[in-house]
Structure 1
Amino acid sequence: MQTVESPNAVDVPGEGKPRRNVIVGDRALIGPPKGINSLHESLLHGAKLSNDGPFLGRRVVTNGVAGPYVWETYGQVLKRIEALGSGLAKLGTNERDRVGLFSVNRPEWVIGEHACFKYNYVTVPLYDTLGDEAIEYIIGQTEMRIILATADKAEKLFKMRERVPTVKVVILMDHLIEEAEVNRLREVAGEGIQVLTFSETEDLGRDGGLEPAGTAGLDDIFTICYTSGTTGLPKGVVLTHFNMLSEVEGAHELGRHNKLFTVTKDEVYISYLPLAHVMERTLQALFTSRGASIGFYQGDTLKLLDDVAELKPTLFVSVPRLFNRIYDKVLGGVKAKGGVAAYLFNKAYKQKLQNLERNVNYHWLWDRLVFGAVRSKLGGRVKHMLTGSAPIAPDVVDFLRVCFSADVYEGYGQTENAAGLSLTFRYDCQSGHVGVPFPCCEVKLLDLPEMNYTSTDKPYPRGEICVRGNQVFREYYRLPEKTAETLDADGWCRTGDVGMWDERGRLKIIDRAKNIFKLAQGEYIAPERIENVYQKHELVAQAFVYGDSLQATLVGIIVPDEEELAKFAAGHNLGGKSYQELCAVEDVRQHILRQLGAFGKANGLKGFENVKNIRLESDAFTVENDLLTPSFKLKRQPVTAKYRTAIDEMYAELA
């Protein structure tokens, strides 16, 4: 068993008893390490362990060609953090002021963030996929006065300056930026916004620097991280230094018990997952606490594998979408080669798959003879791999263990719990689950009788996953009603995901409690909103949108409007066919699919929100056929079950 019941757990009607990580047992849940009260103090601890080793690395691009990684040491970076924090103070930033960060991953992002930690400013990431309306909302809600941004993001802000009147200072984060470009941006910004370069701000701080007015404590806010949301405006998740340090210490506790790799100053990590999301920031906090090295990608995901090959990381963290691409590329290459090479690969693969049943992921011969070329795609030094943000297919996890001979971990969590709620154990090579609660939290399953999930289900308890612990967020910023919907008076946070405890006390994700789900690349989807858009089109009477969390796209079942379909048919030499016959005509299906794509785009749907394949249905969804509720709402589970075969066929066609 990998989990145990929480001490003093009692039976409560409608829910299961809380469970926690077996390594915690009846001890107190893991919190921050002793003597460390902020993420800045955690960095100072890591700097000592590093012995002034390499901290932040980047590739300098000359004439379009990226060179080797160039590093700044912990000592050098700490001096820059001090200078920047002092410079921000001289620009009028006060303790607990909100400071925006708007760029792709780069050393300046980390320097800016840690300057905020040292001077007790509150970091607020911004990112493009939120959309202009959401960015304006965040800046307004947090009363953001100062923003660190790269030139491209700064220009975006300047164009909306009349709608973000609180912004007074923008600091350009670009590593190398020409004076002419800076002057141009100052003209675009106008008189109301002061524009400085990163180096100018650092110089300002070094010239008679200002000490922090106050030092961040455990209860101070580390960040307000806005979730992309599914409907309406995003919510600002308030996480404290206590939350983040508890999560980091929980990971170190797993390492002490050999349930996770032990982080040392010798680890090398490549940073490319968005720093605007809390998962990447949690990982960086973990590595900086032990003096590890962080190399940044060039900012172009198409060049990521080139950067990885140059950096040769020891740890590689990604999302299922990229791991799926590697899986498809490697197996496709083997199939294309054929002959002896394919025979050897398949023989080695099969034997290593059998070894996984004994929790062994290496082989003395095949790892050298067959899988060395695959490992070289990630630099050849990767010992540990971690996947998160969305579900991953078990066969892809097995592929990673076989081909890279690495420990592969699957994690599950949300922004509201500092990205980490559960993680698989080291040497557990069974796939299809997301491990057990972090040592800093406990989990219970809440009955969902309307979905036929209960904590008394046999053979295994099922229900909505609820988490309570030291990494759980404090509140949604200035949204008490929304906070109360997610976080109850006893500190339990409802995730909206449906889980199950398996025979070894591990957590499996089996459903979504609300009509919201994630696609494979991590985007949240609200199907009802998309359906409402499509149903405004004259050719659509009813729509059902479906997304598989192991897939990157949506598919749909469309009931066409009979009268409008007849009009279309008359104009396209199909007037002699019945409604049922028209729904089976391929040209009609393709026409409606194209119409939905254009209509969805015109009505504000993002690319991933538009369906990529459809089936036309001539039988309407009704109360009588049990596809609608008495109040005429779509019953998703019965509709999904009815069209399961069609859904599988649509995804197969897309593949």
Structure 2
Amino acid sequence: MSYPLFTDITKEEAISRLPFNSDIHDCVPIGPSDNPDYSSIYRNKVLPSRLINTIHADLDTHHKLFNNAVELFSDRPCLGARVYDYKKKKSGGKFEYLTYGQVREKQLNLGAGFIHTLLNNPFKNSELESHRKIDRHLSDWNTYGIDTTPLENTNGQIEHSCSFILSIFSMNRVEWMLTDLACSAYSITNTALYDTLGADVTQYLLELTNSPIVVCSMDKIDLLLDLKAKHQLESLISVVSMDPYELIPQKTIERAYSLKVVIKDLSQIEEIGAKNPIAELPPSPQTLYTISFTSGTTGSRPKGAMISHQNAAAYASFLMCFEPQASPGQDTAFVFLPLTHIYERETSTFALCTGYYLGFPQLTVGKTGVNTFENLIDDLRIFKPTYFSIVPRILTRLEALVKSKINELSQGEQTQVNNIINYKITTQAQADGATAYHSKMDNYAPYKALRSFVGFDNLKWVQTASAPIAPSTLIYLKASLNMGIRQLYGLTEVGAAITCSSAYEAHPGTCGSISLSGEYTLRNVSEMGYDISRGEGEVLIRGPQVFKGYYYNLEETKKTITKDGWFHSGDIAKVDGSGRLIIVDRVKNFFKMAQGEYISPEKIENRYLSSNPTIAQLYVHGNSLKPYLVGIVGIEYDKGLKFLNSEFGYGKIGMSPEEMLVELNKIDVRKKFLEHLNRNVRDKLSGYELLHNIHIEINPLTVERDVVTPTFKIRRPVASKFFARVFHRLYEIEQSLVHGSKL
């Protein structure tokens, strides 16, 4: 059943009334829970009487939302990127785009092309269920849906009738979004693969989903063929390259055919669809839109969260109620975070629904030694977005970068810029919504140059999620870069974000209020000292944004969703006087020190990173049998040399990175470096939260090492094992460099 926000007006009028005013940023209790261990139930202040699953009854699927955008914005720029020169492995100097109308045409041609190509694939075997789904797709598409009443079928699993599953396997690019939109128009369920966690994970996902077709960048083709050869992935019969067919070696094409895989490229698929058109096969709200596999921070196998078209319509509607629509021909959104994960898919869906021009990162096919942060800044300087989604670790690097840039100014310019920043910090703290815009100050050249330096010339706001961030970082960046910052909270299982703060919250640190398509309550976590009587506990969420269960994993689904529909987030939160959530940390991330204090490592990491421009990465580790913390520090080569020169006078030019690390990790150097780090955070952390020993590398926390997720969250159990020998040395051999050292 549909529960739209507006029922008595047209969909165009409904959209025109959004976003809501400031009331949207508060929550109110609507009454007690039936469970004595749960707090009152909270809903958004704008509509406490009920929950919604869409803004309008005619916009209740991902597909309908995009079709509506095409009707409204047909001639506007929609998807854009820098043209890539495959020979020189270099991106062009400007973004070129497709309009909404052009994207719609490609969407239909690609969708028809995928279906026609699979129906006529010479290796299709109707004895396989995934291939029978191909044969039946044109007749069965309107029967697809997720039946969760009852929760399980005779096999003890969630019933999820869906199409064959198309897998997408690449970094963010226009072709990724075109493929996703094509699936949406033809009731094809898709999922995303990622080899950053290893070939074993890719193999596992292909086996679990029995995916017959993978649309990928050409650098993934050999990996897919290797997996096909080694693990006999019978279902996989089609690989579609996002890159030109002529660039794929002939031996690769021949090898694929010998393994019963046909290779084509997207332009060929599009041409096939144009010659063999199929009318769109529009999904219902219960059709399974995507299976979003959580990368996880625990090191366990990914779980596939089933996201229906109703879920997608609900999470898009949520953001439409909170965030501004695009101004005609002006507003742009940069698609930076991995589309592999639902957070960027949610925010990109909002952008598509409301007329934004979406820009994509430069391609890196065939390149090595790619610096993602430097590429981001390069793209931002050209695209100059209005907004984009980001994560705390990038924000802390931006803060350090801005502070470093200010230090390069003359003394007089530094004083003036810092005065402007302090003025804005003071003014923005006076009330929610206080932007502190000031024409004279904002146009002071050295201050204005800070925005241009990072490509923020046109930026109105960024939004951050996925992990806690220090309020001081939000306060400083709002003031120094003259922008708003929205803090969101959510998980894959609720379609990514489900709460949102104001872009200019007077006292940053909350994740704002909950969506109109959700409600929350807190659960007592007495073993950690959290009590609902004090407005704190584990966040439980219910409503149309909550996922339908884990794909073929009823056991984990039952652990996560209660019989009365509450999803256990695993996050500890506090509620402020306006009903806004303040996330403390993940339950599993907390650990207790030997003296009994509970430690929140992410909070400590953020404090160090935002206060120390010298370092780029930090992983804080604790041992419950030890009274102090240790850490893995990431430093950039240039900054490491600068420290050695300034403090010891032997950071010679020409020193290799390896030689620099040897010097930095000498005991006397590390002790001096640690003193420098601790001095900058002493007023921000308690004594027991300070680091007592560190190990230094240039780039220790990488996805390739499997110690962080693709969205840069530390996988702490995995990282703990990876750095086990280092931690043994820091704790057992060297001990504290601050006091009590045996050295």
TM-score over 0.5 (shorter chain): yes
For residues 23 and 408 of structure 1, the distance between their equivalents in structure 2, rounded to whole angstroms, comes to 22
Contact residue 477 and residue 483 of structure 2 kept, 8 A = yes
- The aligned runs of 1:106-505 (5 Å cut-off) are 106-162=173-229, 163=231, 164-174=233-243, 177=244, 179-191=246-258, 192-212=260-280, 214-229=281-296, 230-254=298-322, 260-266=323-329, 267-299=331-363, 301=372, 302-359=374-431, 360-361=434-435, 362-369=437-444, 370-376=446-452, 377-457=454-534, 461-505=535-579
For residues 314 and 3 of structure 1, the distance between their equivalents in structure 2, rounded to whole angstroms, comes to 25
Q: Give 1:356 shift.
A: 1.2
> May I ask how many residue pairs the two structures share in their alignment?
561
Contact residue 28 and residue 578 of structure 2 kept, 8 A = no
For residues 52 and 115 of structure 1, the distance between their equivalents in structure 2, rounded to whole angstroms, comes to 19
- Once the two structures are superposed, residues 7-51 of structure 1 have per-residue CA deviations (whole angstroms, 9 ceiling, x without a partner) of 454463111011111112224335352212321221111112113
Contact residue 222 and residue 240 of structure 1 kept, 8 A = yes
For residues 480 and 453 of structure 1, the distance between their equivalents in structure 2, rounded to whole angstroms, comes to 30
Which position in structure 1 is the counterpart of 2:40?
17
Contact residue 120 and residue 215 of structure 1 kept, 8 A = yes
**The one of 75, 78, 84 aligned to 2:101:** 75
For residues 494 and 42 of structure 1, the distance between their equivalents in structure 2, rounded to whole angstroms, comes to 29
Which position in structure 2 is the counterpart of 1:38?
61
Contact residue 557 and residue 614 of structure 1 kept, 8 A = no
Distance 1:464 1:557, change over 3 A: closer
For residues 145 and 178 of structure 1, the distance between their equivalents in structure 2, rounded to whole angstroms, comes to 20
- Once the two structures are superposed, residues 579-624 of structure 1 have per-residue CA deviations (whole angstroms, 9 ceiling, x without a partner) of xxxxxx959x99x998999xx99x98647614476775569xxxxx
Contact residue 336 and residue 388 of structure 2 kept, 8 A = no
Q: Give 1:410 shift.
A: 0.6
Structure 1: segments with no counterpart, 5+ residues: 255-259, 518-526, 529-543, 561-584, 620-642, 651-655
For residues 624 and 424 of structure 2, the distance between their equivalents in structure 1, rounded to whole angstroms, comes to 48
- Once the two structures are superposed, residues 408-454 of structure 1 have per-residue CA deviations (whole angstroms, 9 ceiling, x without a partner) of 11111110111112110244231121111112111110001111111
For residues 694 and 32 of structure 2, the distance between their equivalents in structure 1, rounded to whole angstroms, comes to 53
For residues 342 and 538 of structure 2, the distance between their equivalents in structure 1, rounded to whole angstroms, comes to 23
Aligned amino acid, residue 569 of structure 2: T
State the secondary structure of the residue aligned to 1:421. Answer: strand
- Once the two structures are superposed, residues 382-415 of structure 1 have per-residue CA deviations (whole angstroms, 9 ceiling, x without a partner) of 1122111222221221122112322211111110
Which position in structure 2 is the counterpart of 1:506?
580
For residues 201 and 424 of structure 1, the distance between their equivalents in structure 2, rounded to whole angstroms, comes to 42
Aligned amino acid, residue 343 of structure 2: M
State the secondary structure of the residue aligned to 1:466. Answer: strand
Q: Give 1:299 shift.
A: 3.4
Q: Which runs of 4+ in 1 moved over 6 A?
A: 592-597, 612-615
Contact residue 169 and residue 193 of structure 2 kept, 8 A = yes
Which position in structure 1 is the counterpart of 2:688?
none
Distance 1:151 1:604, change over 3 A: closer
Contact residue 559 and residue 616 of structure 1 kept, 8 A = no
Contact residue 314 and residue 517 of structure 2 kept, 8 A = yes
Aligned amino acid, residue 141 of structure 1: L
Q: Give 1:182 shift.
A: 4.9
- The aligned runs of 1:631-646 (5 Å cut-off) are none
For residues 499 and 584 of structure 2, the distance between their equivalents in structure 1, rounded to whole angstroms, comes to 15
For residues 80 and 462 of structure 1, the distance between their equivalents in structure 2, rounded to whole angstroms, comes to 49
Contact residue 261 and residue 384 of structure 1 kept, 8 A = no
Distance 1:472 1:110, change over 3 A: same
Aligned amino acid, residue 271 of structure 1: V
Aligned amino acid, residue 262 of structure 1: Q
For residues 546 and 129 of structure 1, the distance between their equivalents in structure 2, rounded to whole angstroms, comes to 24
TM-score by length of 1: 0.79
Contact residue 571 and residue 585 of structure 2 kept, 8 A = yes
State the secondary structure of the residue aligned to 2:78. Answer: strand
State the secondary structure of the residue aligned to 1:374. Answer: helix
For residues 605 and 179 of structure 1, the distance between their equivalents in structure 2, rounded to whole angstroms, comes to 34
> Once the two structures are aligned, what percentage of the paired residues are identical?
26
Contact residue 125 and residue 276 of structure 1 kept, 8 A = yes
Distance 1:558 1:409, change over 3 A: closer
For residues 179 and 54 of structure 1, the distance between their equivalents in structure 2, rounded to whole angstroms, comes to 29
TM-score by length of 2: 0.70
Aligned amino acid, residue 553 of structure 1: L
Structure 2: segments with no counterpart, 5+ residues: 1-22, 120-133, 142-162, 365-371, 593-598, 610-616, 626-665, 672-692, 709-713
Aligned amino acid, residue 411 of structure 2: G
Q: Give 1:108 shift.
A: 0.8
- Once the two structures are superposed, residues 229-274 of structure 1 have per-residue CA deviations (whole angstroms, 9 ceiling, x without a partner) of 22331100001110111111122223xxxxx333445421111211
Is structure 2 residue 577 aligned with structure 1 residue 554? Answer: no
Task: Tell me which moved more, 153-162 or 115-124.
Answer: 153-162
State the secondary structure of the residue aligned to 1:337. Answer: coil
Aligned-residue CA RMSD (Å): 3.3
Q: Give 1:154 shift.
A: 1.7
Contact residue 334 and residue 385 of structure 2 kept, 8 A = yes
For residues 9 and 50 of structure 1, the distance between their equivalents in structure 2, rounded to whole angstroms, comes to 45
Contact residue 33 and residue 40 of structure 2 kept, 8 A = yes
State the secondary structure of the residue aligned to 1:475. Answer: coil
State the secondary structure of the residue aligned to 1:511. Answer: strand
Q: Give 1:53 shift.
A: 1.4
For residues 247 and 107 of structure 1, the distance between their equivalents in structure 2, rounded to whole angstroms, comes to 22
State the secondary structure of the residue aligned to 1:35. Answer: coil
For residues 130 and 415 of structure 1, the distance between their equivalents in structure 2, rounded to whole angstroms, comes to 18
- Once the two structures are superposed, residues 211-243 of structure 1 have per-residue CA deviations (whole angstroms, 9 ceiling, x without a partner) of 34x421101111000001223311000011101
For residues 411 and 437 of structure 1, the distance between their equivalents in structure 2, rounded to whole angstroms, comes to 9
Aligned amino acid, residue 447 of structure 1: N
Contact residue 196 and residue 706 of structure 2 kept, 8 A = no
